[in-house]
Amino acid sequence: MMKIFLLSTIVLFFSACALYQNTSYNISLKSLEVEEKLKKMAKEWSKTPYVLGGMTKKGADCSAFTQNALYSFKISIPRTTVAQLHSGLKISKSQLQSGDLVFFKTGRGPNGLHVGIYTSENKFIHLSVKGGVREVSLENSYWKTRYLGARRFVLKN
């Protein structure tokens, strides 16, 4: 009887470990897939000129880029930076995941705000006012001092 109990306990333990590992793996895999898709999109938009109010690869602004990027995951978000900032789930900087929107108070443009998309390892992509989508670090002295907050929308692959 003791052998059966011991054997059952061992089987349950390893089953639980396997389930935990698979769940962890799936979360990491999804995050990696999101990051890869975002980086591919960044490459496709790398030559897009910054045009306030523009919405295509021929010319767009930062919020049009984020709107297009999230739409590729079948997520509809508002058009403007201000509206995007007031949508989604507010999250802390320590909780950032691939696909989260990151906001900055730059003082430029009609509302003084800028938006990008977190990729990983403290980096984000954004449509630069100098033209083209670029990946930069949140720790960059310019962006670090202007960080305003982040929002999460449910990503679907």
Q: What is the pLDDT of residues 10-28, one digit of tens each?
A: 444 444 443 333 333 334 4
Q: Which residues pair with 125 in a beta bridge?
A: 117, 135
**How far apart are alpha carbons 123 and 144 in whole angstroms?**
11
The number of residues making up the chain comes to 157
Residue 114 catalytic? yes
The predicted model scores a pTM of 0.80
pLDDT at residue 157, rounded to an integer: 52
Residue 62 catalytic? yes
State the catalytic residue, choosing from 61, 114, 116, 117: 114
Burial class (CB in 10 A: 0-12, 13-18, 19+), 56: exposed
pLDDT at residue 24, rounded to an integer: 38
Q: Is 46 left (phi over 0), alpha (psi -120 to 50) or beta?
A: alpha
